[in-house]
Amino acid sequence: MSLASFSFLAFCIVTLIVFYLIPQRFQWIWLLFMNIIFYVNAGAGTVVFILATSIISWLGCMGLSKLRSREMVWLKNNKQLPREEKQREKSESEKRRKRVLACVLVFILGQLICLKYGNFLLQNINGIFHTDFLLLGILMPLGISFYTIFCIGYCIDVYRGQYEAQTNLLKHITVITFFPCITQGPIERYDHLSVQIFAEHKISWNEIRFGTWLMLWGFFKKLVIADSLAVATNLVFYDSQGKYRGFYIFLAAILYAVQLYADFSGYTDIVRGFSQCLGISLAENFDSPYLSGNVAEFWRRWHMSLGTWFKDYVFYSVLRSKWCQSFDKWSRKRFSRRISSNLTTTAGLLINWTLIGLWHGSSWKFAAYGLYYGLIMIVSIWLKPVYEKLLCIFHIQEESFLWRLFEGIRTFLIVSFGYILFCANEFMHFLSLVKNMVCYPNPWIFVNGGIFSMGINRRSALALAFFVLILLFVDILHSKGHRLRAEIAQSNLIFRWLLLYGVIFAILIFGAYGPGYSASDFIYQNF
């Protein structure tokens, strides 16, 4: 079921109506039922994988919780024992918990590796060792990357004792399979989501109104902007057999940046809006990312839930790991404090970004995509003193509008270039796109109407440009701290209705759906 479809809309309406009609204590059971319907609809055969992940993580976390409470009880009962004895028990308990966590993670990650990266690994083994292993013909479960890291986060949190494990298996499955988040996130924190799902929800006019508005805005971004731009980007990147070169590729990369943002943030708005209608508040995933001044800031504002997850569970874990600590000690003996600190951070960033890249997909181009950002951040860390010196020499005011504009454009171009790698079929395709972009400069396409040969005619292009400007305007208002929905709700009725009708009719008229458009999935749904 595509999220940008009437069937999904109908599904949401039915879910919502029944959710508020049944007694509040049964609301979560209804959600569990609808989660399963949604997931089975996406592919009945793959339900077994998400159920296996749910059951194993539930069992593991129950075990972790039991071990921790047993340790607490032991410590309480043996207060009189010497400190060393207590320490030994603690460390024994910690080891046992580590083993349980390792077992759970091996299973969950093993499943992800087999299903998502199995063929990638086999292809590489076949390529390197000239073997002839047959590729696996397994269907990838919907949202496997999302629910796997969600479960991993939950297990690590329980291991760290941040909160208690969920004792009810059905409730646990309800949280893992919560259908608005299952396909593309946001990657929630277990405790944040579960507390809300199991709370008893009363119908709230404001929640429903604000939720619906957010959904509308999401549909607008997806159908009016993202899918319309997809016509041009698909033509240039995939369907043209190298016909489009030079600035066509440059322009397509920029359009792809807008498309991906509208697509992914559109999806997030739809599911956040729907969850809000249910009285569940999901985490923000985007914070006007294209208004960032540098790449690190961009990633703090783009797909925020993924960035935070990797920072909390990978980057800091790597920095806190034994080998990283010993490497840090070793480097401090040999280099200055700044250099040794940079070296440790570099190692952490390389691992973190390679994993982020590979999380997106099972191919070297995704690893390269992650490394691309990792390397940019590493270079910026190492060159920071030079950069600061240059700013000083040229008397550049970092807070001035022009400088911030320059930084914003620079970051946008770096990110757009990265998207060529992101959307290329494979690494060689990326190289050929870059070669075609650089070697055949044709700036005249901007004046001779050539840009209208990318599948979007002049009229549509004008309309699209207008809508992209609206998107930019809304992002600027957001970044300035405006709470737009609250402000719209305060405005007069005529303005509010005009705005709503404007969005609804823009979706209906300018949306890329129906004949002439192939229904396109959300891009991140494939991860």
Partner 1 sequence: MRKIISMGIFILLGGILFAYGQKILIPKWNDAETWYSSDIVEGFYAEKRDSLDLLFMGSSQFMSGLSPMELYKRHGIASYSLALDSQDTVLSYYWLREACKYQSPKVLAFECQMLFQDTPSVFYHRKNLDYMKFSFDKFKAIKELCSHSPNENMSDYLFPALYYHTRYQELTKEDFTEPFKKKECPYKGFVFLNGQVKMQYQGIVCDSEDAEEISAYKLKWLQKILAYCKKKKIDIVLVKTPRVGDWTAKRHAAVEKLAEEHDIPFLDFNEKLLYREAGFQDYVDFAEAYHMNMFGALKLSICLGKYFDMAFTLPDRRKDPEYAAWDKDLRRYEREYQHYERTACKDFYRCLDFLTKKDDLNQYRAG
Binding site for partner 1 (CB under 8 A): 6, 205, 457, 459-460, 493, 497, 500-501, 504-505, 508-511, 513-516
Per-residue CA distances from 156 to 43, 55, 65, 106, 341 (Å): 29, 16, 11, 13, 26
Q: Which is nearer to partner 1, 41 or 460 (CB)?
A: 460
DSSP per-residue codes, 429-460:
HHHHHHHHHHHS--GGGGTSSGGGGSS--HHH
Asked if 452 and 248 count as a contact pair (C-beta separation under 8 A), the reply is no
Cα 189 to the center of its chain, rounded Å = 13
Q: Which is nearer to partner 1, 377 or 507 (CB)?
A: 507
Q: How far apart are CA 281 and CA 260, in angstroms?
A: 24
Q: Which is nearer to partner 1, 270 or 464 (CB)?
A: 464
Residue 285's nearest CA partner among 218, 220, 347 is 218
Least distance (Å) from partner 1 to the CB of residue 33? 26
Q: Which is nearer to partner 1, 228 or 331 (CB)?
A: 228
Least distance (Å) from partner 1 to the CB of residue 509? 5
Q: Which is nearer to partner 1, 369 or 513 (CB)?
A: 513
Q: Which is nearer to partner 1, 74 or 510 (CB)?
A: 510
Tell me the residue type at 347: A
Q: How far apart are CA 182 and CA 271, in angstroms?
A: 10
Least distance (Å) from partner 1 to the CB of residue 469? 18
Q: How far apart are CA 421 and CA 419, in angstroms?
A: 5
Q: Which is nearer to partner 1, 134 or 494 (CB)?
A: 494
Q: In the chain, what's the furthest Cα-to-Cα distance?
A: 87
Least distance (Å) from partner 1 to the CB of residue 513? 8
CB atoms < 10 A from the CB of 346, how many?
A: 17
Q: What's the half-sphere exposure (Cβ side, CA atoms, 13 Å) at 318?
A: 16
CB atoms < 10 A from the CB of 487, how many?
A: 10
Q: How far apart are CA 46 and CA 34, in angstroms?
A: 16
Least distance (Å) from partner 1 to the CB of residue 24? 22
Q: Which is nearer to partner 1, 386 or 493 (CB)?
A: 493
Peptide bond into 186 cis (omega under 30): yes
Task: Provide the total of helices (H) and of strands (E) in the chain, helices listed first.
Answer: 24, 0
Q: Which is nearer to partner 1, 459 or 480 (CB)?
A: 459
Q: Which is nearer to partner 1, 241 or 492 (CB)?
A: 492
Least distance (Å) from partner 1 to the CB of residue 493? 8
Least distance (Å) from partner 1 to the CB of residue 516? 6
Least distance (Å) from partner 1 to the CB of residue 263? 20
Per-residue CA distances from 2 to 142, 183, 222, 314 (Å): 12, 10, 12, 32
Q: What's the half-sphere exposure (Cβ side, CA atoms, 13 Å) at 447?
A: 3
Least distance (Å) from partner 1 to the CB of residue 508? 6
Q: Which is nearer to partner 1, 391 or 519 (CB)?
A: 519
Least distance (Å) from partner 1 to the CB of residue 6? 6
Tokens of 505: 């009719």
Q: Which is nearer to partner 1, 208 or 355 (CB)?
A: 208
Residue 109's nearest CA partner among 370, 283, 358, 299 is 358
Phi, psi of 342 (to 5 degrees): -65, -35
370 CB contacts (<8 Å, ≥6 apart)? Answer: 353, 354, 355, 356, 357, 358, 359, 360
DSSP classification of residue 115 = I
Q: Which is nearer to partner 1, 204 or 479 (CB)?
A: 204
Q: How far apart are CA 94 and CA 90, in angstroms?
A: 6
Q: How far apart are CA 319 and CA 325, in angstroms?
A: 7
Least distance (Å) from partner 1 to the CB of residue 473? 22
Asked if 54 and 177 count as a contact pair (C-beta separation under 8 A), the reply is yes
Least distance (Å) from partner 1 to the CB of residue 203? 12
Least distance (Å) from partner 1 to the CB of residue 506? 10
